[in-house]
Amino acid sequence: MATTDVYLIRHGETHANLDQLFCGHSETALTPLGIAQAKAAGHRLAGVEFAAAYASDLSRAADTARHALDGRDVPLTLEPRLREMFYGDWEALPGKQLEESHRDLMRDFFQCRAPAPGGETVTELRARTSEAVRDIVARHRGSAVMVVSHGNAMMALMAELLGLPHEATWSFAFDNTSLTRLHFSKSNRLTLFGLNDTSHTVGLGL
C-alpha cells in the first residue's frame, strides 16, 4: 500500500529558547543540550528506514536534522515553507518584555485574533506548512520521511491537517526534539501515532 509515515521533529534547544525570545525567522544556534537532544532523536529513530529528510532552512532545524542523521545516507532537503512563524516587529524580543509593553496585542496573538505587528498571520502559517508537508507526502508515497520544523509552525501544521478551527491553532505543545508520527493512507487520510514524545531525551538535562 502507498502509505507514508512522516516523523515530525521540533528542533533542539537553542539559546533563544533559553532567553525566551520570539525567534521566528531570526537565527539562533543550538545549545550543547540541543545538540545532544538531536543526536538522541537520531538514535531513537535508528531503526526507521528514511527515504528522505526535510528541514526548515533556518540553522537550528537544519542542524538538528544533520545531527539526527549523522552517519546515515539519507538525503536532506532544506524547505523554507517549514520555517517558524515570522514575528515581524517582535522578532528576537523577549516574551516577558512584550507582555509588559504590548499586553493587549499579546493576548490577541495567543487567542489567534491578530498577528504580531508586521508579522505572519496564523492563516498564512497554516497554509504554507501544510502545503509543504502535503507536497512531501506526495513525493514519497510508500516511504518514511523525517521532517524537522519549529514549535508554532508545527502547531499550525497539525491544526490545519486535523481541520481544527482557526482559534484552536495553539492547542498543542511541542518540546525540543519531540517526536510526532503522522501516517497518511493511500487516500491521504491522516492517522496520528504519538504526539510530543520526548522519551529519548530523559536524563539529558541532568
Active-site residue list:
11, 84
**CB–CB of 140/112 below 8 Å?**
no
Q: Which three cell numbers stand for residue 186?
A: 493511500
- Within 56-128, strands assigned E span 76-78
Length of the chain (residues): 206
Placement of cell 532544506 in the chain: 78
Q: Which amino acid is at 155?
A: M
Cβ density class 100-109: b for 16+ within 10 Å, e for less: eebeebbeeb
Q: Which amino acid is at 98?
A: L
- Within 49-143, strands assigned E span 50-55, 76-78
Residues 174 and 169: their CA atoms lie apart, in Å, by: 13
